[in-house]
Amino acid sequence: MEKIGKRFEGKVVIVTASTQGIGFSIAERLGFEGASVVISSRKQKNVDEAVKKLSNEGIEVLGLVCHVSNAQERKNLIQKTIQDAAPYLKKGSSVVLISSVAGFSPPALMGMYGVTKTALFGLTKALASEMSPHTRVNCVAPGFVPTHFTDFITKNEHLRRGIEGETLLNRLGTTQDMAGAVAYLASDDAAYVTGETLVVAGGMHSRL
């Protein structure tokens, strides 16, 4: 990765569902920018493998098992982070939480990834209002990114080309593209941004 700044020094960042795909790239990017990162997944094996990868890159990382749709496991994640990350929390430092908003307030009869963009938009606005003025809440709405969740689409050459043709940049997104957008929104560079949904889709038409 090209040389980047250290916007997150002195911060502890929790990234849920972060042992692979977009979540892993977000944790990696923020770690490269100086954060102490806390990653989580439902499976211990996935957590251990991701912790090893990030540690080998020189990133300060703590890995915990957590299913974000489970209220008690979410509570344990925060409590364990505060307990174990205490040595890294210097005076004036802060904790940043990055997660799927659908994971915290899943719509009825919808899985975590079944929430619509319109629902994300409304939920982001509502949470930002509820948690203001001391906490900012923003959302990234990704375009198509090749991960194991989208393999059935992105590995089909015909479908892939069709999707690429709908973007202005004529390509699919990458997990690094999403991580860069999240890094901006989580940083002090976006200190006056809250309640917003940033569409990162290469110019593909959005219904937001």
Catalytic positions, written as ranges: 113
Distances (CA, A) of 66 to 13, 22, 76, 168, 197: 15, 17, 8, 37, 25
Angle at CA of residue 137, ends 135 and 139, nearest 5°: 165
Neighbouring residues of 59: CB distance < 8 A, sequence distance ≥ 6: 27, 28, 31, 32, 37
Neighbours of 71 (CB within 10 A): 9
Assess contact for 140 and 198: CB atoms under 8 A.
yes
Return the DSSP state at 105.
Answer: S
